[in-house]
Amino acid sequence: MTESKALIVGISGVSSSGKTTLARLLRDIFPNSFVLHEDDFYKPDAEIPVNEAAGGVADWDCLEAINLPQFEKALSHIREHGMPPPDLVSKEDKNSVGQVDVDRIVVDDLEWKAGRWMFEDVPPIAIIDGFLMYAEGMKEVRSLFDVKLLLRTDYQTAKARREARSGYVTLEGFWEDPPGYVDKVVWPNYVKDHAFLFKDGDVEGEPKQDLLEQLNIQAMPPATQGSMTEVLKWAFDVLEAALSPRDR
């Protein structure tokens, strides 16, 4: 693989774990950075798979709902050119992430610290957020990331956050989760595609650290769970470390 003209950072994890919030915060902190959303690569509404086991509802939380060739093509374009595809228009930016509970003093401090990268010879930072980017069915996509951050949250928190959302702008309209969608679709899909990363397949338990290291995935420390401020500080340190070797 040729050297990338951007530092490509993946932020993945279960729905409502704070991926988009973290991505936007990092974009605002680091100079010369931009965000790409996996959700911008959903297939047209009529092509979203139907989950028969969940009562015949559209399954927006499975790999088959994503146009993987287009997603991979966009990431390859970023690696080659250091910028997103010029024809990409984000619909995900129309979706609110709700109230962001983060210490603004910490954000300002990190932004000041990151300012030094404006004067260093480092590539642009492409921050990619998505819900299933490290699954085994995404090996080709997974290999395109230079940094892989895995956000975690427990079932109850993910369920409460997802059910508090009003809905989502789609390629052709608007989607609202029907009752029971988290229990029937969202959480089971997350478990199915991420159990391999955790001991005994328990996605709320301890990760397989040796496998994470093998795949170059960095899971958020348990102590940061529940605090976007702490998650942000951790992610900032990871990105700083990734940029530093390029500067030496």
* CATH number of domain containing 100: 3.40.50.300
Residues 6 or more apart from 235 whose CB is under 8 A from it? 11, 22, 26, 149, 220
Assess if residue 118 is contained within a domain.
yes
pTM above 0.75, yes or no: yes
Domain of 225, in residue numbers = 7-247
- Domain membership flag for residue 82: yes
What was the pLDDT predicted at 67?
95
- Taking 60 as the threshold, does the pLDDT of residue 98 lie above it? no
Domain-embedded: residue 1: no
Instruction: Give tens-digit pLDDT for 115-166.
Output: 999 888 889 999 999 999 999 999 999 999 999 999 999 999 999 999 998 7
The active-site residue, picked from 28, 39, 183, 193, is 39
Q: What is the pLDDT of residue 91?
A: 60
Report whether pLDDT(97) > 60: no
Percent of all residues in the chain with a pLDDT value above 90, rounded to a whole number: 81
pLDDT per residue as tens digits for the range 81-96: 999 998 887 765 545 4
Three-state DSSP state, 27: helix
The answer to whether residue 2 is domain-embedded is no
Average the pLDDT over 47-58 and give the result.
95
Q: Among this protein's residues, is 39 annotated catalytic?
A: yes
Measured in Å, how far apart are the chain's first and last C-alpha atoms? 22
Contacts of residue 175, Cβ cutoff 8 Å, sequence gap at least 6: 45, 58, 60, 167, 168
Count how many domains the chain has: 1
The answer to whether residues 126 and 6 touch, using CB atoms and an 8 Å cutoff, is: yes
Residue 247 has a pLDDT of 44
Whether 238 maps to a domain, the answer reads yes
42: closest CA among 64, 16, 15? 64
